[in-house]
Copies of this chain bind each other. A is one copy, B any other.
């Protein structure tokens, strides 16, 4: 069984969701767990819950990174932060992967520096996983690890994202698309027009340019973009889901009749919301670093933490990193799988 280091101090309600999620994951025998954070507090919270018997161990970290900390600065200043201790456990081989719902910038900076890039990877990339209309998942890469990207970076994002999708979602030939302002091959900006030529050469199921609307309609599995555009696209989606939910709530509570209507259709609404729920997909993997690093939303609940632990274990068992290194070496040598 894989061992996963869980930063216990990341979520907005830490360490509650982390502890619950770790207990659920351990009970389901998804992984052995090293829970990283203030020893005394974690021991207290875990008391009488059979944590040790379940394979959960506490590893002490005296500091926690906050949302106000700057990524790289947090890394330098808080040498005993729960993020950094978790990364160190992976680096030392005591865990195969880490998960954290903490400050994304700090987790990325720490993972890049402590774990280091895989052989052949120029820039690790953050991949967001989200549900689509068909109830399947799509992966958008990069969503913010690399703001100014080159065509060769997008090429690596495509390779890493495709392998991730293949291993985690068990799809043999995931459809890979390049995010652009139109579907025709000549569409795009300087960066994507150049990247298009490179993606066409890769031994992937490249379906060409895709548009913003394709993110959620299920037409494509892996969407490749630079970190700036990807970050904007992801946050536009998150913001819109929030606004739509709040408008819907307002509308349904506006009159007595509509409230009664809401009560009758409550189960339908719960199904609807579940379809939009990101937490089933367990966080965003930082692709291209040694070991495994999954970054969760600060608002993650226990279920999201449990799923992130599951994904981290599957990532390691599925040899995602080994496959990435092999494929990049092949591309570098001008080879193609065919």
A→B interface (CB under 8 Å): 132-133, 144, 147-148, 179-182, 187-190, 192, 211-217, 225-229, 231-244, 246-248, 250-252, 254-255, 257-258, 260-269, 271-272, 275-276
Known: A133-B243, A188-B228. 7 other contacts (CB 8 A): A148-B189, A181-B231, A211-B231, A225-B232, A232-B232, A240-B240, A264-B264
Report chain B residues within 8 Å CB of A237: 212, 236, 240
Min CB gap A96→B, angstroms: 30
**Given that A181-B147, A262-B261 are known contacts, is A236 also in contact with B236, CB under 8 Å in the complex?**
yes
| Contact residue among B234, B255, B265 (Cβ-Cβ distance under 8 Å from A261) | B265
A229 to B235, CA, bound (A): 13
| Oligomer: number of copies | 2
Report chain B residues within 8 Å CB of A216: 236, 239-240, 243
> Residue on B with the closest CB to A249?
B272
Min CB gap A132→B, angstroms: 7
Min CB gap A115→B, angstroms: 23
Asked whether, in the complex, the Cβ of B213 is within 8 Å of the Cβ of A239, the reply is yes
Asked whether, in the complex, the Cβ of A213 is within 8 Å of the Cβ of B238, the reply is yes
Asked whether, in the complex, the Cβ of A181 is within 8 Å of the Cβ of B240, the reply is no
A228 to B225, CA, bound (A): 12
Report chain B residues within 8 Å CB of A239: 211-217
| Contact residue among B213, B260, B261 (Cβ-Cβ distance under 8 Å from A236) | B213
Report chain B residues within 8 Å CB of A260: 261, 264-265
Asked whether, in the complex, the Cβ of A189 is within 8 Å of the Cβ of B264, the reply is no
Report chain B residues within 8 Å CB of A211: 231-232, 235, 239
Q: Can you list 26 A-B contacts with CB-CB less than 8 angstroms, sorted by A residue number?
A: A147-B189, A148-B190, A181-B231, A181-B232, A211-B232, A212-B233, A213-B238, A214-B239, A216-B236, A216-B240, A217-B243, A232-B233, A236-B236, A236-B240, A244-B244, A247-B276, A250-B272, A251-B269, A252-B265, A257-B265, A257-B267, A258-B264, A258-B267, A258-B268, A261-B261, A261-B264
Asked whether, in the complex, the Cβ of A272 is within 8 Å of the Cβ of B251, the reply is yes
A275 to B246, CA, bound (A): 12
Report chain B residues within 8 Å CB of A217: 239, 242-243
Min CB gap A128→B, angstroms: 12
Interface centre among A236, A241, A244 (most CB of B within 10 A): A236
A250 to B276, CA, bound (A): 13
Min CB gap A171→B, angstroms: 20
A255 to B213, CA, bound (A): 29
Asked whether, in the complex, the Cβ of B246 is within 8 Å of the Cβ of A244, the reply is no
**Given that A238-B213, A263-B261, A265-B262 are known contacts, is A189 also in contact with B228, CB under 8 Å in the complex?**
yes
Report chain B residues within 8 Å CB of A232: 179-181, 211-212, 225, 229, 232-233
Report chain B residues within 8 Å CB of A240: 215-216, 236-237, 240-241
A182 to B234, CA, bound (A): 12
